[in-house]
Structure 1
Amino acid sequence: MPSTTLQWLSLVGIIWLQAIIGTNTNFPTYSSQLKQLLSISQVQLNNLAFASDAGKLFGWFSGLASIYLPLWLVLLIGSTLGLVGYGVQYLYITNQISSLSYWHVFLLTFLAGNSICWINTVCYVVTIRNFFSDREVAVGMTTSYQGLSAKIYANIVDAVSPHKKASAFIFLNSLLPVIVGLIAAPLVREIDEEVTSPKHTRVGFGVMFVITISTGIYAVLSSLQFVTSKVSSLGTLVGILVTLLLPLLVPLSVKIKELQENTEKVRIYHFTMEENTTSEERVENEVKEGEVQEEVGIIEEVGVKLMLRRINFWLYFFVYFFGATVGLVYLNNLGQIAESRGCSNISSLVSLSSSFGFFGRLMPSLMYYFYRGKCRISRPASMLAAMVPMSVNHNVVVANIPIGSLIFGYSAALIYRKEGHEHDEHVKCMGMECYRNTFIMWGSFCFLGTLLALILHARTRKFFSQKQ
């Protein structure tokens, strides 16, 4: 099979992996039931959410492993860790294991959280190596699918096991990444060389963006109550699965086009067309190499020690800390937030939040795709993603997630207990007061993150202007 087709197939495999590795994002859908089953307080429940995020503290292990081990083995290790972490919890919740303490569950959740890093590392490495000249677009588009994870899992549970959601979610968390990993493993691999011309790559990503945006629109609409009341859970599930198969149209069309071109060469202009094609490919490769060299010229290749001494790194770190991390903590608490306001259909709320989160992840890469030829946009995220060794440095950056999860989540749990007068730690807090002060605090942190982002933008804009 031609390398061009394999390139796009690898991107499709990464999309499938990203769509199911966000196992921690569906935590709100079963957190209230888990709290009852384990008879734990809100603070202890928050500790479990922190444990999942804390698994990222050791995500740099996966970065080192990707340097010395085959990527398929790194993918297998990540899937296995998730299988063990969530699988044992499932056996406990279904009473197939009787003796499992709270701290056992904590460690298993930690292990499951770490498994995401292994699969994520494989996705990042393959995407950047196979689409180096378009890595910002490719990474941004594929990671946006991770925002759909909660939506996909919720649709499966609603269709298959609507009455035992807690155990069904944990069962899927353990098994689905393994199944998809085995399917995607032959596709997700490094191609020897990037053979797609810039023109064809841009067209391919254009089609991919149309499919991706259509997927997001369907995800949002199918999460709204007036739609779910008219369409069955099975119908909604079939629809989301079809949208995940649509990216296959790109490598399929590339393959058909290559077959048609080869047939035409043999039948009509065999010798002449072969010579012209060789010349065109030579010109395209020269153009591509020039673009790659120009792109590389504005990237700093730094190690971990040097990176930690950079002001821009710490600005980016705290932008992420006061922005995306606060959002993740909000999602972890969404189950209790909805419960405190008397919302019974938490699954639909999480699906809707997941769908809009998908667009939030997609927008930066979409903007970069349309405006990169007109003006040079400061891209701190792409700089950090391209640092060498990328797979290690990226996991250093995301270490702020467990730190923020502990600080923001624990403070929210304490306010929850205080406002709910939770003398008996297992009593639920109901009413607006449960999270009112928490939202004020989170909003203030997000405002601070916005100010830091503006400062970082100004600093990196000078850097890009000088290089240009």
Structure 2
Amino acid sequence: MMSSSSSSSTTEAAAGRRRHTHAAYGGSSSSWRRWAVLVATVWIQAVTGTNFDFSAYSSALKSALGVSQEALNYLATASDLGKVLGWSSGLALLYLPLPAVLLLSAAFGLAAYALQYAIILNLLQLPYPLVFLICLVAGCSICWFNTVCFVLCIRNFSSSNHPLALSLSISFNGLSAAFYTLFANALSPFSPSVYLLLNAIVPLVVSVVALPAILLCHPHDGHLHNMPKHDKHVFLGLYILAFITGIYLLIFGSYTTTNSAAWVVLTGAMVLLALPLIIPASSSCSHVDMHSPDHALPLNHDDPQKPLLLNNDHQRESNVMIQKSVEQQMQGCCSGAILEKGCMMVLGEEHSAKKLIQCIDFWLYYTAYFCGATVGLVYSNNLGQIAQSFHRQSQLNMLLAIYSSCSFFGRLLSALPDFLHRKVSFARTGWLAVALVPMPAAFFLMWKLHDINTLVAGTALISLSSGFIFAAAVSITSELFGPNSIGVNHNILITNIPLGSLLYGQIAALVYDANGLKMSVLDRNGMIDTMVVCMGAKCYSTTFFVWGCITLLGLVSSIILFLRTKTAYAAVAGQSSCKHLSQVSS
């Protein structure tokens, strides 16, 4: 009997070890797949910010079309107007598989930029309204790419990690212009049309390359093998690599080099883009034996390994703590009429489009974005004329490099709340308000002082602030209005970008034209063209003041949003603390 019992125990132990090993390797496989998906979204984002290189071929497009500067500016705005149709990508995801939406995005971009390429080479002549529509489709394709990447990050990472994944992926979108400049320098540095050819082909090629990782991923890979400490270490490594990539492009991307040197620099950039695959691969191999979740940290609300029922004492303790937290926050939060009405109490509740536009918090959020990050985007569109009016045309490349790099680093900094959330308990909407503080300060500073140092500092602050908001906004939209509805809801939010582009751009144009002088110049075809040129601080001084007031309104709106939503964030933080206590005690 004892021998039989011993044999049975040995057999069960062996079977347990086999299950243990299988789970470890299976978890490692699923972990590798989701990291591969993240790298795929980084690659896609790195080449789909095609609207950022418009200035590289705008003069050639203007000459080919034979239009005025004002008409050319409307074409630049058309790309932003394409974001008005960005919500269609969310609808497409309801009826089509995600890989199909990705390929459709690439097809839209291919068609739009290929037609513009043919126009510049005088292979095709189209009326201006049709060219405007083509630019709009190009902008829409960018939104579709963004939506695909957002959904991939949310599906493949747990709720505690997908903000980190989103911030990392979105950050690389700001480097698209730098990557395309490297490609152009290597292929044909003196041909503006090469940018349009690259805009058409590269996103399609990268989408096809990224497709296998997307097809092999499982929607719940992020939950099958959840190791918070391990994941944070991998994310930290990826962010360090991203920082190095940004520094590399800032240093080498701004230099005019020979063709051979350009290929070397481009190869280095491609290697840096491929390196993120190594960190999760090596990390997964070294953590094969880590088969269970890290119990030192609370499990995510969407983790299938989370116990369905807690101990009754723990459950009661959890409810009491959450209730007390909510009551205390309500006393401090909803103290006025604006803060009381419809004060958000729960994060992650799904909002349909109809429910979204009826939500006070959404319009506060919309105003904060509209009067914040969008102003920073319009500032970048006017940076060329700003430098010219300040007699700093020769330093334009330096200003553009500062804006691009600071915007990229601002996007990376948007992940700071997720790295510090254990030490600093602060609502993400609060971080949004903090990020908006530098923007009005920068505009008012440039309104008062008109030297190059102020212009450089102001540009850095504005780009840092707007970059942070661009990246953080996706996570905020997911948390406030539901992760499953983000495909539609976030695209509704960014309809403010084309509206702001038109409004704020028109403000700048009116002030510029009112203080400028008409001049006759020869275009590339030898035709006489009339344009307004303004020189001096007066060209943008009033604009800076108006933009400063607008961003101040955005700051106020973000503060109100923070006060209205901090209760919901505090409740989630309290719930996580209760889970942590229950796991430690068990």
Q: Which amino acid aligns with 2:365?
A: Y
Q: 1:239 to 1:451 in 2, by over 3 A?
A: farther
Q: Tell me what 1:125 maps to.
A: 151
CA distance in 1, matches of 2:97, 2:532: 48
- Do structure 1's residue 398 and structure 2's residue 491 form an aligned pair? no
- Do structure 1's residue 35 and structure 2's residue 62 form an aligned pair? yes
Asked whether the 8 Å contact 1:42–1:417 carries over to 2, the reply is: no
- Do structure 1's residue 407 and structure 2's residue 511 form an aligned pair? no
Q: 1:286 to 1:326 in 2, by over 3 A?
A: closer
Q: Tell me what 1:56 maps to.
A: 83
1:314 deviation in Å? 0.9
Which residue, 408, 421, 426 being the options, matches 1:358?
408
Alignment deviations for residues 154-181 of structure 1 (CA, whole Å, 9 cap, x no partner): 222233222122x122221111111111
Q: 1:33 to 1:416 in 2, by over 3 A?
A: farther
Q: Tell me what 2:477 maps to.
A: 384
CA distance in 1, matches of 2:171, 2:40: 14
Q: 1:283 to 1:421 in 2, by over 3 A?
A: closer
Q: Which amino acid aligns with 2:565?
A: T
SS of the counterpart of 2:349?
coil
Asked whether the 8 Å contact 2:171–2:411 carries over to 1, the reply is: yes
Q: Tell me what 2:449 maps to.
A: none
Q: Tell me what 1:140 maps to.
A: 167
1:143 deviation in Å? 0.4
CA distance in 1, matches of 2:546, 2:498: 18
Alignment deviations for residues 432-468 of structure 1 (CA, whole Å, 9 cap, x no partner): 3444433333233223222322222222223323453
Q: Tell me what 2:315 maps to.
A: none
Q: How does 1:112-191 map to 2 (within 5 A)?
A: 112-133=138-159, 134-165=161-192, 167-189=193-215, 190-191=217-218
Q: Tell me what 1:208 maps to.
A: 238
1:255 deviation in Å? 4.8
CA distance in 2, matches of 1:290, 1:122: 23
Asked whether the 8 Å contact 1:43–1:413 carries over to 2, the reply is: no
Q: Tell me what 2:299 maps to.
A: 288
Asked whether the 8 Å contact 2:178–2:249 carries over to 1, the reply is: yes
Asked whether the 8 Å contact 2:368–2:558 carries over to 1, the reply is: yes
CA distance in 2, matches of 1:26, 1:116: 13
% same residue: 39
- Do structure 1's residue 465 and structure 2's residue 582 form an aligned pair? no
Q: 1:4 to 1:466 in 2, by over 3 A?
A: closer
Q: Tell me what 1:267 maps to.
A: none
How many aligned positions are there? Answer: 445
Q: Which amino acid aligns with 1:246?
A: L
CA distance in 1, matches of 2:188, 2:218: 40
- Do structure 1's residue 253 and structure 2's residue 282 form an aligned pair? yes
1:342 deviation in Å? 5.7
Which residue, 12, 25, 33 being the options, matches 1:6?
33
Q: Which amino acid aligns with 1:209?
A: Y
Asked whether the 8 Å contact 1:56–1:113 carries over to 2, the reply is: yes
Q: Which amino acid aligns with 1:222?
A: F
Could you tell me the TM-score, scaled by structure 2's length? 0.70
Q: Tell me what 1:102 maps to.
A: 128
CA distance in 2, matches of 1:426, 1:52: 25
Q: Tell me what 2:441 maps to.
A: none
Q: Which amino acid aligns with 2:517?
A: H
SS of the counterpart of 2:212?
coil
1:347 deviation in Å? 5.5
CA distance in 2, matches of 1:240, 1:441: 40
CA distance in 2, matches of 1:38, 1:428: 20
Please say which of residues 388-397 and 457-466 is displaced more in the overlay. Answer: 457-466
Asked whether the 8 Å contact 1:307–1:313 carries over to 2, the reply is: yes
Which residue, 245, 249, 253 being the options, matches 1:219?
249
Q: Say which structure, 1 or 2, has more relative contact order (CA 8 Å, 6+ apart).
A: 1
Could you tell me the TM-score, scaled by structure 1's length? 0.86
CA distance in 2, matches of 1:321, 1:181: 31
Which residue, 94, 97, 107 being the options, matches 1:80?
107
Which residue, 551, 554, 572 being the options, matches 1:446?
551
1:290 deviation in Å? 5.4
1:421 deviation in Å? 2.9
CA distance in 2, matches of 1:371, 1:282: 20
Give RMSD over aligned pairs. Answer: 3.0
Q: Tell me what 1:374 maps to.
A: 423
Asked whether the 8 Å contact 2:519–2:533 carries over to 1, the reply is: no
1:139 deviation in Å? 0.7
Q: 1:334 to 1:240 in 2, by over 3 A?
A: farther
CA distance in 2, matches of 1:249, 1:66: 31
Q: 1:185 to 1:26 in 2, by over 3 A?
A: same
Asked whether the 8 Å contact 2:513–2:534 carries over to 1, the reply is: no
1:46 deviation in Å? 2.0
Alignment deviations for residues 55-78 of structure 1 (CA, whole Å, 9 cap, x no partner): 111111110111221111100111
Q: Tell me what 2:96 maps to.
A: 69
Q: Which amino acid aligns with 1:343?
A: Q
Asked whether the 8 Å contact 1:17–1:177 carries over to 2, the reply is: yes
Please say which of residues 369-378 and 335-344 is displaced more in the overlay. Answer: 335-344
Asked whether the 8 Å contact 2:86–2:144 carries over to 1, the reply is: yes
SS of the counterpart of 1:187?
helix
Q: Which amino acid aligns with 1:122?
A: V
Q: 1:418 to 1:331 in 2, by over 3 A?
A: same
- Do structure 1's residue 19 and structure 2's residue 115 form an aligned pair? no
1:319 deviation in Å? 0.9
Q: 1:283 to 1:427 in 2, by over 3 A?
A: closer
SS of the counterpart of 2:531?
coil
CA distance in 2, matches of 1:29, 1:415: 25
CA distance in 2, matches of 1:223, 1:346: 15
Q: Give 5+ residue unaligned stretches, structure 2.
A: 1-25, 307-317, 319-344, 430-472, 521-528, 575-586
Q: 1:413 to 1:315 in 2, by over 3 A?
A: same
Q: 1:352 to 1:111 in 2, by over 3 A?
A: same
1:24 deviation in Å? 0.7
Q: Which amino acid aligns with 1:8?
A: W
1:332 deviation in Å? 2.5
Which residue, 368, 385, 391 being the options, matches 1:319?
368
Q: Which amino acid aligns with 1:176?
A: V
Q: 1:288 to 1:345 in 2, by over 3 A?
A: same
Asked whether the 8 Å contact 1:79–1:177 carries over to 2, the reply is: yes
